[in-house]
């Protein structure tokens, strides 16, 4: 297991190194051009360099979220999504700087008119405005009342426009891109982007279409949550690790289906047939309106498994599982798997919810407490007056009251609402838990 962990760490470092290299490579190649031809002011060259880096950052934005399993395994999909968002902002700021720094060099703001000037200025202006649209719609999606799926399509479309227009802009300016090696490299970046997009939008869905699943049970389990049991049709199903998630695709055809990340709640020791259970809480239009209508026999598709929140990769002498709300699903999978494997390592489960009636799988957790070396602490934010147990938010003080003596040798898994995660990530470090022993996953990606 330690070897697997080291392997993951090594892969993480290699992937990150490759990413940095690919972002900076165009600038390195630009140096190959005969310098005597391009003696221009420092600030002008800086503006150009920033523009080249912005292009490379934006070209690889999609790679970060295109479900490349080997790249997402070391970091976790939610972390890659966060990195994607933050590097997107960096790319946008760089592009803005690129334009502003060019102003003193005679590139007037009139260049931002997509209908005026020559090809270079028109394509530059299109890339600029498309990127601005992409940034604004991403930052204010909820304020603009954009459905997540509509926003996803708009996001992909504007990203393609930005990438295409920026490439045409650089080709039209033809300064550093008159260097054949650099031109070829940037064309390769563009082809890689298109290939990833095709894999994501066409190849993967076609693969999913050949491996359908069907709903065999769909029932409400309280707390605005439904338990969905699905069975593989004509194939062996999934080989997953406890705590991992899948993209559940629902709709008429796999190619056009809506896909949502949902954690597998069942044991990784699947039987035959290899059914899996998903617990889905009603949040928005899909989970509220579509999921309840997935009647028995409905065809769905499953892309996965993904995710790094799993004891199979982060072993410990024991485990501390901290779940907030529907964040209980990966913990349930971990506990069910431990039961099926006869794993007797000690586990402390801290399960936080608004009120007792918002909790799910209560009876099963009680049963698991008897079958496993498990202790459960329930925490309610707004408990009924007669509640004698823990109340409020999960905090260091609360954890101190319940953590076992040798907790620093335990592996911590945390999954819950963003606010809880922000607090706990810091507080666990304060408690002295080594960072490498804290594994987290966030359920909100956008």
Site residues (CB under 6 A) for ligand FAD? 77-78, 148, 245, 259-263, 279-281, 283-288, 307, 326, 329, 441, 443-446
DSSP 219: E
Q: Among residues 249, 262, 403, which one has the least CA distance to residue 327?
A: 262
Per 3-state DSSP, what percentage of the chain is helix, strand, and coil (rounded to 5)? 55, 15, 30
**113 Cβ contact partners less than 8 Å away, ≥ 6 residues apart:** 121, 125
DSSP assignment string, 139-164: HTTTTTT--HHHHHHHHHHHHHHHHH
Nearer to ligand FAD, 67 or 345 (CB): 67
Return left, alpha or beta for 342; rule: phi > 0 is left, psi -120 to 50 is alpha, else beta: left
* Residue 326: contacted member of ligand FAD, other proteins, none (CB under 5 to 8 Å, by partner type): ligand FAD
Nearer to other proteins, 87 or 112 (CB): 87
Residue 440 interacts with other proteins (CB under 8 A): yes or no: yes
Q: Does 58 bind other proteins (CB under 8 A)?
A: no
* Choice between 230 and 428, CB closer to other proteins: 428
Q: What angle do CA 276, 280, 286 make, to 5 degrees?
A: 120
Binding segment for other proteins among 71-79, 133-141, 149-157, 228-236 (CB under 8 A)?
71-79
5, 8, 22, 90: which one contacts other proteins (CB under 8 A)? Answer: 90
Pick the binder of other proteins from 8, 45, 129, 251 (CB under 8 A). Answer: 45
Q: Does 20 bind other proteins (CB under 8 A)?
A: yes
Task: Measure the CA–CA gap between 240 and 263, rounded to whole angstroms.
Answer: 11
Looking at beta carbons only, is 129 or 148 nearer to ligand FAD?
148
Residue 280, contacted partner among other proteins, ligand FAD, none, CB below 5-8 A by kind: ligand FAD
Counting Cβ atoms within 10 Å, is residue 151 exposed (0-12), middle (13-18) or buried (19+)? middle
Report cis status (omega within 30 of 0) of the bond before 273. yes
By beta-carbon distance, which residue lies closest to ligand FAD? Answer: 284
Query: b/e string for 298-335 if b means 16 or more Cβ within 10 A?
Result: ebbbbbbbbbbbbbbbbebebbbbbbbbbbbbbbbbbb
Interface of this chain with other proteins, residues 353 to 372, rule: CB under 8 A: none
Which string of DSSP letters, residue by residue, matches 83-149?
A: HHHHHHHHHHHHHHHHHHHHGGGT--GGGG-TTSS-HHHHHHHHHHHHHHHHHHHHHTTTTTT--HH
Six-digit token string for 148? 């997540």
CA distance from start to end of the chain: 33
Judged by CB under 8 A, the number of residues near other proteins is: 43
Residue with smaller CB distance to other proteins, 304 or 307: 307
Site for other proteins in 185-244 (CB under 8 A): none
Decide which of ligand FAD, other proteins, none touches 443; Cβ closer than 5 to 8 Å per partner kind.
Answer: ligand FAD
Which residues make beta-bridge pairs with 321? 349, 413
The stretch among 87-95, 128-136, 191-199, 360-368 that binds other proteins (CB under 8 A) is 87-95
- Please choose which of ligand FAD, other proteins, none residue 87 contacts, taking the beta carbon within 5 to 8 angstroms, the exact cut-off set by kind: other proteins
Interacting partner of 397 out of other proteins, ligand FAD, none (Cβ under 5 to 8 A depending on kind): none
Kindly identify the residues of this chain, within the stretch 378-437, that bind other proteins according to CB under 8 A. 421-422, 425-426, 435
Under the rule (CB under 8 A), what is the footprint of other proteins?
16, 20, 23-24, 27, 30-31, 35-36, 38-46, 48-50, 53, 57, 75-76, 79, 82-83, 86-87, 90, 93-94, 308, 421-422, 425-426, 435, 438-440, 442
């Amino acid at each position: 297991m330690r070897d697997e962990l080291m392997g993951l760490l090594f892969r993480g470092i290699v992937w990150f190194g490759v990413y940095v290299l690919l972002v900076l490579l165009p600038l390195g190649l630009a140096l190959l051009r005969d310098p005597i031809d391009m003696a221009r002011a420092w600030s002008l060259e800086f503006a150009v360099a920033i523009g080249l880096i912005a292009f490379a950052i934006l070209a690889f934005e999609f790679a970060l979220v295109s479900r490349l399993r080997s790249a997402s395994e070391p970091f976790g999909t939610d972390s890659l999504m966060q990195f994607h968002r933050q590097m997107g902002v960096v790319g946008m700021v760089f592009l803005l700087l690129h334009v502003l720094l060019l102003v003193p060099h005679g590139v007037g703001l009139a260049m931002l008119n997509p209908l005026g000037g020559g090809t270079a200025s028109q394509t530059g202006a299109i890339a600029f405005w498309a990127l601005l649209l992409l940034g604004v719609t991403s930052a204010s999606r909820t304020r603009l009342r954009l459905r997540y799926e509509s926003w996803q399509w708009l996001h992909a479309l504007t990203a393609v426009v930005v990438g295409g227009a920026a490439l045409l802009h650089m080709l039209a300016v033809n300064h550093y891109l008159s260097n054949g090696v650099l031109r070829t490299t940037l064309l390769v970046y563009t082809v890689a982007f298109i290939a990833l997009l095709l894999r994501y939008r066409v190849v993967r869905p076609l693969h999913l279409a050949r491996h359908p699943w069907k709903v065999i049970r769909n029932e409400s389990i309280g707390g605005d949550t439904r338990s969905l049991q699905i069975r593989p049709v004509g194939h062996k199903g999934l080989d997953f690790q406890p705590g991992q998630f899948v993209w559940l695709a629902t709709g008429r055809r796999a190619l056009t289906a809506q896909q949502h990340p949902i954690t597998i709640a069942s044991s990784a020791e699947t039987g035959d047939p290899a059914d899996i259970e998903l617990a889905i809480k009603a949040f928005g239009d899909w989970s509220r309106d579509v999921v309840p209508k997935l009647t028995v026999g409905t065809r769905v598709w499953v892309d996965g498994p993904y995710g790094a929140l799993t004891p199979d990769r982060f072993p410990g002498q024991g485990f501390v599982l901290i779940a907030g709300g529907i964040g209980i699903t990966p913990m349930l999978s971990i506990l069910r798997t431990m039961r099926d494997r006869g794993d007797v390592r000690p586990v402390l489960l801290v399960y936080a919810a608004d009120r007792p009636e918002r909790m799910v799988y209560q009876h099963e957790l009680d049963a698991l407490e008897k079958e496993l070396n498990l202790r459960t602490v329930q925490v309610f934010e707004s408990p009924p007056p007669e509640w004698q147990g823990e109340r409020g938010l999960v905090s260091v003080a609360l954890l101190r009251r319940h953590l076992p003596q040798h907790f620093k040798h335990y592996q911590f898994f945390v999954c819950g609402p963003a606010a809880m995660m922000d607090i706990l990530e810091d507080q666990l470090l304060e408690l002295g838990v080594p960072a490498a022993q804290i594994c987290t996953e966030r359920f909100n990606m956008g």
